[in-house]
Amino acid sequence: MVDEEAGHTLDRRSALRGAAAGAAAAGAAWVAPAILSVDAARAATAPPVPPVANVVGSSYLAFPTNGTRWVDSGNLVTPTMTQNLTPATGDPAYTGNDIAGASGTAAIAATGSTVVTSTNTGSSWTRESVSAGIAPIQTHFGVAVSPAQTIVAVGSTTIIAAFGGRDGFRHPFGGSWSSVTLSGGAIAFRTWYDVAWGNSLFVAVGDGGRVTFSSDDGATWSGYVVQSGVLWRSIAYDAVTGLWWMSGTLSSYAFSADPTAGAASWTYGQTGASANTIDYDGVDADGGTILLVGQNGTVSRTTNAGGSWTGTGPAGLTNWNGVATDDNGNWTICGDLGSVAVSGDDGLTWTAAATPSGVPQLNSAVYL
């Protein structure tokens, strides 16, 4: 590197001398080029502010931080926040646990048997109660949207046994909400924490190592167990590599090229973070770069399918709950106390986003 840089310096000097000699031969006065200071040069070539994802979380003031949309703040390095969703009059406060989107349709999974939807890429939102006439899920933990604009919400219910194991809800675009019955010993009567769509599949993950999938746009489901001692908290699909990734307790991760092939299709591992005691609450993938986020400021990154993991992320002990990428090298992570950070270099370095005082826990992020 030193020799190469020295060679470049000589090349630049030779060019300047040639320009000076040419100007003198032409009888013109040569003017030395302006030399910027190091700080001025960096400012002149400063990278643009990375775009920041939409985030959702727990109640903020008298209403939730629902659909908070983050935008670049002009020439400032630190992104700032604006809200583009407020609850309708009389709506109860709810906590957004997950947010997802596809083909202009977006959805937020929330408490109180609530799903909040948008059909215009998050410009406006509608709160929907999905419990009318069907078994209510008391809390929706995860949500996914297919390109066909079917919304699948998963979670838990205190009356699950009374309704034959209805563990999720499905909403075809233009249709109405319907409950989804999951049968079979491996997946009946479970709590599901996240769901994702990719490669014509919905895949959901939950407690006791459970994994379930649907290949018919959420109408029917099959499942199995991957590591019964792990609670899987998050799942994501990498469209570039074709791999599904999930993260969970005990610093665990697993990946599969074909979840329909059963438990044996998954490669399981642990990152080693904090002696394998970390609960990874979020995972996302972008062209072979995988980020897991969890407790005590833990952000773990791999670019070789889990062959090695590197700790990254901002300094501090914030519990990170959600992570998202725009599939173009930009990432957003969000967590407790309204913490948000962004990266524009594929998760290597991070910039904290400015949040108003009093913003509580943020749970999930997505680029719409």
- Of the pLDDT bands very low, low, confident and very high (cuts 50, 70, 90), residue 166 is very low
Strands of 210-367 (E only): list them.
210-214, 222-225, 232-238, 243-248, 252-256, 267-270, 280-286, 289-294, 299-302, 310-312, 320-325, 331-335, 340-343, 351-352, 362-366
Structural domain boundaries in the chain: 2-29, 53-366
pLDDT at 353 over 90: no
Residue type present at position 324: A
CA distance 28 to 31: 9
Count other Cβ atoms within 10 Å, centred on residue 344.
Answer: 18
CA distance 351 to 340: 9
The per-residue pLDDT for range 291-327, each reduced to its tens digit, is: 999 999 999 999 999 999 999 989 888 899 999 999 9
d(C-alpha 51, C-alpha 73), whole Å: 10
pLDDT of residue 161: 27
Please report which confidence band the pLDDT of residue 61 belongs to, taking 50, 70 and 90 as the band edges.
very low
Residue 255 — pLDDT band, cuts 50, 70, 90?
very high
Segment 244-261 shows an average pLDDT of 98
Contacts of 309 (CB under 8 A, 6+ apart): 271, 272, 273, 300, 301, 302
The pTM (predicted TM-score) of the whole model is: 0.79
Q: Which residues of 36-46 are buried (b: 16+ CB within 10 A; e: fewer)?
A: eeeeeeeeeee
pLDDT in tens, 178-233: 777 676 666 766 788 999 999 999 999 999 999 999 998 888 888 999 999 999 99
- Domain 53-366 maps to which CATH number in 1.10.10.10, 3.30.70.141, 2.120.10.80, 3.40.50.150? 2.120.10.80
| Residues 352, 368: Cα–Cα separation, whole Å | 20
